Amino acid sequence: MQSFIEGLPKVELHLHIEGTLEPELMFKLAERNRVQLSYKTIEEVRKAYQFNNLQTFLDIYYQGAQVLQNEQDFYDLAWAYFSKAHSQNVRHAEIFFDPQTHTARGIPFETVISGLRKAQEDAEQKTGLSSRLIMCFLRHLSPEEALDTLEEAKPFRKWITGVGLDSSEQGRPPALFQKVYEQAEAAGFLPVAHAGEEGPAEYVWEALQLLKSRRIDHGVRSTDDPELIQYLIREQIPLTVCPLSNIKLRVFQTMKEHNLRRMLQMGVCVTINSDDPAYFGGYMNENFLAAQRDLELTKDELVKLSANAIKASFIDENARQVLTAELNEYYRKNV
């Protein structure tokens, strides 16, 4: 099973680039940029990565991002992720970035996106791994600040495929961001949103109905509402599920209790993703492996998860067909 998962062609749709900052690179960038870290050793950093919920994680995650200052830093961050993803047979990745985490510290939007963009181009050229960027609004900040961020992004529209919504969910309903999503869609950005991670199923409805979200990031609490689940199945709205993240942040107490397989068997278009791999203990293979082991996923189900991700991605039809053909070939040879 392990080698089957490792060889499986994969597509990642829920990955925060700031969440790929490994402690080793954090220390290197802290030194390069003369940033004082509150940790003395890499072991100390890893020991601090014990979370009770989303907010305890976010506090540490935003702190880590402070070492990112120059274009080269964003390049190095993204390049490290692409190398890792390529080594795990990820063929395509749709990557979130949080411009407000950086612009609030005086780092220009252009610095962030130029570094990411160059790494994307190098990854595609050198490894064949294609990628897209999705800009997230931080939902703990105001809708007005999100509107300002959208304006800053417009000159870079051709480099940014979509908009997303992340950070603290509880008490920050999608409805707050309806206006900025309307403007983003009018400017050609494809809408997605985190919903139903810690927040209620009602937030998933809002993300779909008010933000016109094409996919739901996480969405695991959708099973609280049978009507919503039926809607997701009927409309084939993809959920980008992140198994290790959900355990680390105690959305589920154990992997055996995770509803991923149940949703898959009901016919929901679920996918497996890594969210913030440097913080949650694993990239795509580790997420697939942990879910496979504890939920006893079959090879057919693993292939279905990859097929769902291809279907749910924002790549063009030609690339979708190439990926589908590769996955079918893998199925034919290995199942």
Told to check if 167 binds ligand HPA by CB under 6 A, we report yes
**Residue 51, both tokens:** 């979370």
* C-alpha gyration radius of the chain: 19
Q: Where are the beta strands (DSSP E) in 140-180?
A: 162-166
Question: What sign does the CA torsion over 155, 310, 289, 334 have?
Answer: negative
Q: Which of residues 192-251 bind ligand HPA (CB under 6 A)?
A: 194, 197, 245
The residue from 12, 18, 197, 198 that is catalytic is 197
Distance separating the N- and C-terminal Cα atoms of the chain? 11
Binds Zn ion by CB under 5 A, chosen from 71, 76, 169, 275: 275
Contacts of 255 (CB under 8 A, 6+ apart): 243, 247, 290, 291, 293, 294, 295
Q: Which of residues 175-194 bind ligand HPA (CB under 6 A)?
A: 194
> Least distance in Å: CB of 57 to ligand HPA?
7
Q: Which does 197 bind (CB under 5 to 8 A by kind): ligand HPA, Zn ion, none?
A: ligand HPA
Catalytic, 197? Answer yes
Contacts of 227 (CB under 8 A, 6+ apart): none
Single out the segment in contact with Zn ion by CB under 5 A; choices: 123-131, 269-277, 301-309, 312-320. Answer: 269-277
**Residue 71, both tokens:** 């274009």
Calpha distance 12→14 (Å, rounded): 6
Told to check if 198 binds Zn ion by CB under 5 A, we report no
> Least distance in Å: CB of 197 to ligand HPA?
5
Kind and range of the H or E run holding 216: strand 216-218
CB-nearer residue toward ligand HPA: 46 or 140: 140
> Least distance in Å: CB of 22 to Zn ion?
18
Binding residues vs ligand HPA (CB under 6 A) = 16, 19, 54, 166-167, 194, 197, 245, 275-276
Binding residues vs Zn ion (CB under 5 A) = 275
Q: Give the residue numbers marked as catalytic.
A: 197
